[in-house]
Structure 1
Amino acid sequence: MALPLALSGQDIIGQARTGTGKTYAFGVAMLQRVGKPRKNRKKPRGLIVVPTRELAIQVTEDLVTAAGKLGSRILTVYGGRAYEPQIEALKQGVDVIVGTPGRLLDLVKQKHLDLGQIDVLVLDEADRMLDLGFLPDIERIIKLVPAKRQTMLFSATLPGEIVALSRRYLNRPTHVRAENNDAEAEATPQTTQFVWRVHRMDKVEILGRLLQCEGRGLTMIFCETKRACDMVVEQLKERGFAAAAVHGDLGQSQREQALRAFRNGKIDVLVATDVAARGIDVDDVTHVVNYDCPQDEKAYVHRIGRTGRAGKTGVAVTFVEWEDLTRWKVINNALSLDFAEPVESYSTSPHIFTALGIPEGTKGVLPHANRSRAGLAAEEVEDLGETGRTRSRGRKGRDEEREERRERPARTRERRRTRGGRTGAEAAEVAGSQGAQPAVAEAQHEESGRRRSRGDRVSEETQAPLAARVESPIVEPAELEVDVDVTPRKDIRDDRPAETTSRRGRNRRAGLNPDVSLTEEGSRAEAAEVALWEDEQDWEDETPAPRPQPEKIIPPSPFAVIFQSPDLATDDDEIAPSAASERAQSRRRPQVRGQQRGPRRQG
């Protein structure tokens, strides 16, 4: 219906069910208008804007098949891949570009893409782009293309934003609708539908038995969240099924690897979010399972539309939990289905085995004899030069990343203490070349620092023996002779006479601020060590005796009563009222007329 109008150059708004061939409706007309490629024409003349990367790849494959005789140059542009191959293809020249809004605007901003010669503009799955918040980007793209053009807009549904967009940017469009007028979106009649009310803890077990039904081919499972996808894939792999996930948290190479393995038959179960519910066309998809209840009737139609395509039949099973019953009733009423009250089902319910043709006695684990798929690891990962980080697949991928981090050798950093940027040996050489005076000054500075930390001062008498100690050679301890002068002297701090009768006080002063005469072979540090040793001996002699401990009362039995408080209450005692009961009783008292509740305010 839309092909003659599109070939004539009219603006079109196309609305049809999924799987009815909307891609060829605008693709054939665009290729016919663009014509055969020319050497002197490098700027694109056709532009197709899609919401997701997977849909861009799908549309490109269909256009390449349709343009086999024409030889049109078709380029796919989307995020997650390296810029260089796309820029090189644009320099060589293209005829039709299929891309997502973000990457298209990036290439235009970098001045690698010129949309000034676009003759045909197509917005595919426009309602999905509006749901994802692409309306500002779409408006910017429309302003970059010439005003004299053909615009075609295709969508399974027609919300109010699409109507406003058509009135603003389309020129007298023709609305072509291949739908039933009674329902906004109708389910595919070739698909057999089952809706069961299940428990959350039993869904994986039911799914394991469902995947062993008779005649099952490729199967797609839709979850609501990315984490649920990873959880389902992990549990299915533990049960022996060849499964893989596709969602937004995976890198583009991993998403394409999973789709290639699914199309090639290396895996037979693809678990995905709604990102794969639009435009993905895979042959021989026999079963679709809504692991989580869809958000609305549009999502339900697009999900189950992955099977029963091009006249083939399929099976769609929807799990509805107790808290999702209200949402499902809205979907059921919008689509006029017969599942207003889903049947309560468990993994052992007989009607599950009968409806899907599951052999009796089947468990939720795939037998080893039936595990014939190669798995996701058999499909090579294409190096796309991803612009973002490569994301891991579930818990297993995170564990592998942790193991890689553990295997990395730890950093070994050798630290060395330096003085002024020099090591100890270098500083000694410099000191030897400059003489002993810097060494004496440095030793005096260190000694004064230690003295100040102990709350004492450094006198000139202390610095003189220190200089002699630095300049004098090192001698053995046996040659030392220490003469201690115990003449009373006045303290430097407060001019009070020093106490000389106590050995402890004398030795303490000798260690902190000594009045010691040393010979040339002596050392003041050795005298301080001797004084400290004598001080320790005095402290050991004067150690006080241990205090006596009180006797512990140990009852003969752990259940014996040692003390019992007397009961002073009698039978005549009244229970004291609480504050709340007193307030309630005061409210119930009658008020005497003329009696004031509070003091009169002085006016």
Structure 2
Amino acid sequence: MNYPIYTAIKPKKRLKLKAYMSENNTDIEATNTGLINSAAATAVRPDEVDADISATADNLDLETKTFAQYGVEEEITKALDERGITHPFPIQALTLPVALDGADIIGQAKTGTGKTLGFGIPLLMDTLGPGEEGWDEDPASGSAQALVILPTRELAKQVAEELSAAAKYRTVRIAQVYGGRAYEPQIEAIKAGAEVIVGTPGRLLDLINRGILRLDHVTTVVLDEADEMLDLGFLPDVEKILAATRPDRQTMLFSATMPAAVIALARRYMNQPTHIRAQEDPTDDTLTVRSVSQYAYRVHAMNKVEVICRILQAREREGCIIFCRTKRTADTVTRELSRQGFAVAALHGDLGQGAREQAMRALRNGKVDVLVATDVAARGIDVDDVTHVINYECPEDAMTYVHRIGRTGRAGKHGTAVTFVDWEDLPRWRLNCKTLGLEYKEPVETYHTSPHLYSDLDIPENVGNRLPRSQRKREGLNAEYIEDLGTTGSRSAARSRGRSRGRGRTHRKADDAVRTKQTKSRRPRKRTHGARRTKPTE
């Protein structure tokens, strides 16, 4: 493939940053290394090796530095200011100077610490929208210039909305490309001209193979939650997507965890990436956020819903997400809590995309305050004011636990995580604690009447298993509209499968009828021991 030679491939953000730095008599390289004040955390980036930058919140002087002081353009800072976002989090403060300089990045920070804006701001600053300065001269005008790949539909929708909010005063167009929705609106958005594409691997690759989505003008690629994409088996798709982009692109990879497979992916597809780590406390070696209080209880299966009903009435409790291993369990818990008067919605893979988005909107809009979900909601989903996370069963592994409880305690807020551990799961819980560097404490046997439950979680002593009618003030899931997402392009196949299933049922019913008739015909006549019937006399 022949790629046009850009007079400025990563030009826009680099030139903006250099102009800002020259106005403030600041050197870019000095900024990259000057972010870290402690000797133990400083690092340089030689041409021969990858850089390794780490810092703590205390090192970065975040309370005084604003986004504008990191060279972020005025249109973006204005949009952020309106949302009350003025000072960067550690991962953002570390990422911005390196990303704005055009370097590849491996960004690692605990979940809920602001990775989205860490890559979103540099991505937007490297993208030109219609009518913006340089648009007419840019060979990429009207084509995709940036690509964000994410593992789940919910996360893709959330990131696209976050980028759109940051680009409020820009003309950059952002298209969402993920499964479960009709193809036509997504294809129309791409053909109309979208500078930023945000999507999941399956739908992205499908549109690439159809020749609808071209990535030869893409100069910035972001892989978010890369470890989850590999866990879900998306590696072949991701590799094919990366192969369709420019070889001189900037690649940014962000995730809360960095297993060996992710590092191998980075080595293969990134050019001398700078590894950036941000942490709250240099002495904190755990993978969980310190602002989350964690509790583990041994609860009998028949008493779990009773215990949850009490937890949901804790003081200062706002939003809550309850994680279950199976879809059936999620539906069962949802029904039970609904009967007890709680405003609750379910979220799992058996629901259609419209119903899944309805549940997320209802939670975000406050129409429900309890979401019962499988791990489809455990990665990256950011909902304001989720104060509690409950694991209905012990998570299968340590990373699942990290991402589940990461739905609370986000952006510096305090959260509470409660895990129910069954007897047979005690070895798994012990292993999870060891893997995460958490102090292991034997889960206490707990019932809905246990005094320590009320004292640990600040639950009023007089609450019961039902939410009092006076407190049922939320509108509920049905008050949230469900969007018509159209056909996903497989309607004919679905109809075909439906017809096949229908024929199968018809045949089975006919066969059953024949077998029943045959059985009846073979059934021996019932003999009686009464007198023989005789011919009646005339």
Q: TM-score by structure 1 length?
A: 0.63
Which whole-Å CA distance do the structure 2 matches of 1:156 and 1:71 have between them? 31
Higher relative CO (Cα under 8 Å, sequence separation at least 6) belongs to 2
In the superposition, relative to structure 1, how do residues 545 and 110 fare at CA in structure 2: closer, same or farther (>3 Å)? closer
Structure 2 partner of 1:309? 410
Contact 1:245 1:258 in 2 (8 A): yes
- Identical amino acids, percent of aligned pairs: 57
Which whole-Å CA distance do the structure 2 matches of 1:280 and 1:152 have between them? 20
- The structure 2 residue matched to 1:49, chosen from 146, 149, 166, is 149
Amino acid at match of 2:371: L
Which whole-Å CA distance do the structure 2 matches of 1:309 and 1:222 have between them? 17
Structure 2 partner of 1:31? 124
Structure 1 partner of 2:160? 60
Structure 1 partner of 2:512? none
Q: CA deviation at 1:184?
A: 6.7
Which is worse superposed, 116-125 or 305-314?
305-314
Structure 1 partner of 2:388? 287
Which whole-Å CA distance do the structure 1 matches of 2:475 and 2:270 have between them? 50
Q: CA deviation at 1:212?
A: 1.2
SS at match of 1:214: coil
Matched, 1:327 2:428: yes
Q: CA deviation at 1:337?
A: 2.3
Structure 2 partner of 1:264? 365
Matched, 1:369 2:462: no
- The structure 1 residue matched to 2:105, chosen from 12, 37, 52, is 12
Provide runs of 4+ in structure 1 moved above 6 Å: 180-184, 543-546
Matched, 1:219 2:320: yes
Q: CA deviation at 1:545?
A: 7.5
Which whole-Å CA distance do the structure 2 matches of 1:345 and 1:384 have between them? 44
Which whole-Å CA distance do the structure 2 matches of 1:544 and 1:94 have between them? 92
SS at match of 1:310: helix
Contact 1:43 1:117 in 2 (8 A): yes
Which is worse superposed, 39-48 or 166-175?
39-48
- The structure 2 residue matched to 1:353, chosen from 411, 433, 454, is 454
Residues 515-570 of structure 1 show CA distances to partners (whole Å, capped at 9, x for unaligned) of: xxxxxxxxxxxxxxxxxxxxxxxxxxxx9979xxxxxxxxxxxxxxxxxxxxxxxx
Contact 2:175 2:189 in 1 (8 A): yes
Contact 1:80 1:388 in 2 (8 A): no
In the superposition, relative to structure 1, how do residues 388 and 218 fare at CA in structure 2: closer, same or farther (>3 Å)? farther
Q: CA deviation at 1:279?
A: 1.3
Residues 413-453 of structure 1 show CA distances to partners (whole Å, capped at 9, x for unaligned) of: xxxxxxxxxxxxxxxxxxxxxxxxxxxxxxxxxxxxxxxxx
Contact 1:229 1:273 in 2 (8 A): yes
Larger Rg: 1
Q: CA deviation at 1:335?
A: 2.3
In the superposition, relative to structure 1, how do residues 169 and 545 fare at CA in structure 2: closer, same or farther (>3 Å)? closer
Q: CA deviation at 1:182?
A: 7.3
Q: CA deviation at 1:386?
A: 3.8
1:35-184 → structure 2 map (5 Å cutoff): 35-37=128-130, 41-179=141-279
Amino acid at match of 2:226: A
SS at match of 2:106: strand
SS at match of 2:418: strand
Structure 2 partner of 1:235? 336
In the superposition, relative to structure 1, how do residues 53 and 545 fare at CA in structure 2: closer, same or farther (>3 Å)? closer
Contact 1:42 1:90 in 2 (8 A): no
Which whole-Å CA distance do the structure 1 matches of 2:173 and 2:533 have between them? 101
Provide structure 2 residue ranges, at least 5 long, that are not aligned to the other structure.
1-93, 492-501, 503-531
Residues 119-174 of structure 1 show CA distances to partners (whole Å, capped at 9, x for unaligned) of: 00110000000000000000100111111111111111111111111111111111
Q: CA deviation at 1:50?
A: 0.2
Which whole-Å CA distance do the structure 1 matches of 2:116 and 2:397 have between them? 24
Contact 1:252 1:386 in 2 (8 A): no
Contact 2:183 2:489 in 1 (8 A): no
Structure 1 partner of 2:115? 22
Which whole-Å CA distance do the structure 2 matches of 1:348 and 1:86 have between them? 52
Contact 1:295 1:327 in 2 (8 A): yes
Which whole-Å CA distance do the structure 2 matches of 1:386 and 1:364 have between them? 42
Structure 1 partner of 2:31? none
Contact 1:280 1:306 in 2 (8 A): yes
